[in-house]
């Protein structure tokens, strides 16, 4: 998602290139939200992966084959394209006012909608429904996976095994919190926080894009023993 936004944002800050065409703006918006929905699908797939690894480890390699993983990824990508494509198409049909200034560092959907002089009810409603349907469905599937994982872990008598099994899920849980929490705050403040200052909306939207992409490598890298050992030893060499 950051690759859709950061290059244009850097051009604004470094070179003062503040203009963007309507088609360019809608294209950026499409790829931004398409990747966001795809990322959510990846988190669901990872939850399924953890479920199989803990609840049915002996059949892990037969259930999660490379072909099946590729199919899951393709389904997630197709779902993202089909659900997000109507958003820029609905906006393309709307008339825009004389003020063409987007109060964001990128083409955020609601920020673009607010520039229109036409009836934006359909676009706003579709965006809100899609956001909560996707998040609701994906979080339900993730919650179901972790519910089955917890039930399987509680059946194990060894506390050491409890810790080892749950430890494999910590990175995934942290990534989910970093991904869904800023998104929900950003979506809710844009649609229902009428008295919230504009800079708060912009800050939350930027955090939603930047925080997960910056911290994901740190979280997953921290789970790798070899990398942890190298990071700990490196300061002593300086």
**What local confidence, expressed as pLDDT, does residue 83 receive?**
92
Joined tokens for residue 19: 């203009």
The answer to whether domain 2-95+105-225 has CATH 3.20.20.70 is no
- State the Cα–Cα distance between residues 118 and 228, nearest whole angstrom: 55
Concatenate the DSSP letters of all residues of 135-173 into one string.
HHHHHHHHHHHHHHHHHHHHT---HHHHHHHHHTTHHHH
What is the spatial distance between Cα 183 and Cα 209, in angstroms, rounded to a whole number?
9
* Count of beta carbons in the 10 Å neighbourhood of residue 206: 18
Give the dihedral sign, CA 171/173/174/179: positive
Question: What is the chain's pLDDT, residue by residue, as a tens digit (238 residues)?
Answer: 556 566 666 676 676 677 778 888 888 889 888 888 898 899 899 889 888 888 888 888 888 888 999 999 999 999 999 999 999 998 888 888 766 777 777 888 888 888 888 888 888 888 888 888 888 889 899 889 888 888 887 777 667 766 776 777 777 788 888 888 777 777 666 666 666 777 777 777 777 777 777 777 777 776 666 666 666 666 555 5
Tokens encoding 54: 């803990």
Q: What are phi and psi of 208, to 5 degrees?
A: -60, -35
The per-residue pLDDT for 125 is: 87
DSSP code, position 193? -
* Radius of gyration of the chain from its Cα atoms, rounded to whole angstroms: 21
Residues with Cβ < 8 Å from 185, sequence gap 6 or more? 204, 208
């Amino acid at each position: 998602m950051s690759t859709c936004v950061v290059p244009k944002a850097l051009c604004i800050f470094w070179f003062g290139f503040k203009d963007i065409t309507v088609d360019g703006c809608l294209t950026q918006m499409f790829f931004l939200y398409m990747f966001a929905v795809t990322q959510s699908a990846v988190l669901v797939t990872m939850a399924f992966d953890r479920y199989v690894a803990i609840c049915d480890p002996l059949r892990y390699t037969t259930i999660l084959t490379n072909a099946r993983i590729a199919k899951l990824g393709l389904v997630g990508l197709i779902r993202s394209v089909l659900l997000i494509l109507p958003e820029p198409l609905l906006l393309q049909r709307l008339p825009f006012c004389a003020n063409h200034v987007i109060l964001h560092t990128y083409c955020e959907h609601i920020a673009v909608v607010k520039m229109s002089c036409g009836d934006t009810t359909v676009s706003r409603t579709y965006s809100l429904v899609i956001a909560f349907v996707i998040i609701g469905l994906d979080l339900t599937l993730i919650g179901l996976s972790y519910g089955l994982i917890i039930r399987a872990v509680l059946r194990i008598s060894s506390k050491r095994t409890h810790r080892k099994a749950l430890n494999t899920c910590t990175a995934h849980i942290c990534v989910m919190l970093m991904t869904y929490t800023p998104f929900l705050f950003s979506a809710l403040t844009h649609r229902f926080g009428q008295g919230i200052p504009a800079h708060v909306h912009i800050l939350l939207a930027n955090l939603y894009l930047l925080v997960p992409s910056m911290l994901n490598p740190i979280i997953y890298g921290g789970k790798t023993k070899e990398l942890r050992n190298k990071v700990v030893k490196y300061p002593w060499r300086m």
